[in-house]
Amino acid sequence: MVKLTINGRVFQAQPCDTVLAVAQKAGINIPTLCHSEAVHDYGACRICLVEVERRGRKRLVTACLYPVEEGLSVTTDSERVTKVRQIVIELLLARTPTSEEILALAERYDVTESRFSDMEGNNGDKCILCGLCTRVCSDVVGVNAISLVNRGTKREVALPFYDDETACIACGSCAYICPTSAITLTDSADCRTITWPNSKADFPMKECSSCGTHYAPVKQLQYMAEKAHLSISEFDYCPDCRH
């Protein structure tokens, strides 16, 4: 076990734990946007920055990536941490001025406007480039249907060539994990529609052979059948009619 202090309180943790994991278990709030138990941490949003002191040296680190150490001292709400978080929020506001999640963070940290509002690349969408959607698509689902493209202020999430949804199985994982609703999913009748920041695609839904309910995307069921080495006919019935 490793002993460390967070905001003056002493904690014991496993050597493999991160500062964020220990703080969350203790009920200490550290804001996050790109953290999810579904994928490995990436440190993209930078909002979880905390101040650590080790051997007399203080510095800012991302809590989601920084491993605990014996004797480590962590401060989650120092004046320095707050100021840096405010700057990060200003940058996020400049990119996503309509995001409810970012606006809520801005209110919490008394950020009323962004000095970067006129920065190049402010496209008004809700994507904060956290990479959660691309990582869940590649690391969990395993299809790599979307990715981060371009550099700098032109960085964005996109399908191949912006319009090739061939690899997408319409599972909706990207929409479910998105922290700012930049990606949306809607099911209507026999169609599922997924909308990304710069593209949109419709996917047919499978009709249950018994009750007629359209219960899952056809491409997702085909993918599951292939992975499980099953016949696609195994999915002719919805979960309610299989019993």
Joined tokens for residue 160 = 């191949």
The order of strands in the sheet holding 2-6 is 9-13, 2-6, 73-75, 49-54, 57-62
Chain mean pLDDT for the chain: 93
pLDDT of residue 154: 86
CB 11 within 8 A of CB 5: yes
Which range among 8-12, 113-117, 198-202 shows the weakest confidence by mean pLDDT?
113-117
Query: What are residue 32's phi and psi, to 5 degrees?
Result: -140, 155
Q: Which CATH number fits domain 2-77: 3.40.50.280, 3.30.70.120, 2.60.120.10, 3.10.20.740?
A: 3.10.20.740
pLDDT band for position 120 (cuts 50, 70, 90): low
Joined tokens for residue 2 = 């490793």
pLDDT of residue 153: 80
Return the beta strands (E) in 169-242 as ranges. Answer: 184-188, 191-196, 199-207, 214-217
Q: Where in the chain is the domain with CATH 3.10.20.740?
A: 2-77
pLDDT of residue 37: 93
- 153-171 residue pLDDT tens: 888 999 998 899 999 999 9
Query: What are residue 3's phi and psi, to 5 degrees?
Result: -105, 130
pLDDT of residue 142: 95
Mean pLDDT for the stretch of residues 123-151? 92
> In the chain, what percentage of residues exceed pLDDT 90?
86
pLDDT exceeds 60 at position 123: no
Q: For residue 30, what is the DSSP state? A: -
pLDDT exceeds 60 at position 113: yes
Beta bridge partners of 176: none
pLDDT exceeds 80 at position 107: yes
Question: Please, which contacts does 229-238 make with residues 24 or more away whose CB atoms are closer than 8 Å?
Answer: 235/206, 236/208, 236/209, 237/208, 237/209, 237/210, 238/208, 238/210, 238/211, 238/213
- 31-90 residue pLDDT tens: 999 999 999 999 999 999 999 998 889 999 999 999 999 999 999 999 999 999 999 999
CB 78 within 8 A of CB 51: yes
Q: Tell which wins on pLDDT, 1 or 118.
A: 1
